[in-house]
Chain A
């Protein structure tokens, strides 16, 4: 996952063919606990970087998920409605949340790489 980037809000972003796929990190799903519901944005919505666009609910609590970059939501992971537990079991693959067509793909490069994110998570312990 060397081409995956990370935010301080614990989202991951992976650019493939000009489209960025976004989910939450393993650290985030572990902190949340068992996910029971996810509220996803409408496809076609224009979002700003840092805007709250999805909500993930565990048994314990609700948490916002933010758009890591500006752009247009082009697809959401509809499979999560029936199987929200995928976010726990496969947070960085099948548990993706939504796809964004970046307003500026260069914005992704400014996010943390995997090593920087791991170091950031260590500071939170």
Chain B
């Protein structure tokens, strides 16, 4: 969270958020809508039932251009970037020399360049980190003048495809350039809700007109950061700063799948020594899904105990899942307590709340694979 004495930044959709009655809160240095008048529950269910529009323009966008850009990016990530085909996007981690996670990010191969999306709260660290490892001939170009708008839900692609039919031809993690309602847009079929949908990068000065065009489509409603958080947690997706950070490794975070197969033979990424050792010998703790019994949520930082016993971990994200119709959480527990179904106790306000380790996602993904 930014120092509250600093002026908050606004996205290109700030005026639209106010017009829609958005309740604005500080997030990663930006003034962002946590919800609109419909409320988090309704906005969440709207996304699962039809389509929800999210402003995620606070996130960092950048391009990496030049011969050898993919190999250069691999100096700061264990993801397989060189193997990413044109028109495809991949999720990855930026790792640190000690094996901690600097950030998580998306990278797309646009043919003549790479397109990156990083977290708002980390872009001030990520971009200099990437720039520092680039060889001559490869340039990192931040794109502060672009907005990012997500349209998510089972009706999202059908809705936006009425404006640009080609979007329906993308598969999950496919990317392409389209003109949508007269606005040049970079579209990826991806998101942070577990639903089918798209994230669309557009020029900042066209963002409001673009968002209005989407909101005018049947079945589309605006949703805020509150619903985005409950949707991503139901989908079992990590939030940087909660579930992963500079102290957690990719193996502890159960994100080993983001490490390219080739990278696991080369071991030439930051933190490779720790990752290699942890893959060989296991970690002391693991990130797991957790289902509290009953209806009481357990929030982030709730201590996790073995039943009647010692502290074995901590909740990193927790809340109530509107589609799950029950409480849900994720957190780190000692490895011997990490198997699905293991009984746990969550210490909520001094009382032990029974819970179990549970597989994620809590609500099945519905990607267009």
Contact = CB atoms under 8 A, between A and B. Distances in A.
Nearest to B351: A39
Contacts of A61: 299
Contacts of B41: 33-34, 59
A36 interface: yes
Nearest to A59: B40
B34 interface: yes
Contacts of B34: 60
A59 B44 contact: yes
Contact of A36 (B226, B299, B320, B349): B320
Nearest to B42: A34
Given A34-B39, A36-B320, A62 B297 contact: yes
B296 interface: yes
Contacts of B40: 33-34, 58-60
Nearest to A82: B295
Contacts, number: 42
B320 A37 contact: yes
A60 B296 CA distance: 13
A88 to B, nearest CB: 8
Nearest to B325: A36
B190 interface: no
Contacts of B299: 61-62
Interface string A37-62: 10100000000000000010111111
Given A34-B39, A37-B297, A57 B320 contact: yes
Contact of A59 (B296, B322, B349): B322
Contact of A33 (B226, B295, B297, B349): B226
Contact of A55 (B295, B327, B349): B349
A33 B39 contact: yes
B35 interface: yes
A39 B296 contact: yes
B97 to A, nearest CB: 36
A66 to B, nearest CB: 14
A64 B322 CA distance: 22
Contacts of B295: 36-37, 84
12 contacts: A33-B39, A33-B41, A33-B226, A34-B41, A36-B297, A39-B349, A58-B40, A59-B319, A59-B322, A61-B299, A62-B297, A62-B299
Interface of B: 34-35, 39-41, 44, 226, 230, 295-297, 299, 319-320, 322, 327, 349
Interface of A: 33-34, 36-37, 39, 55, 57-62, 84
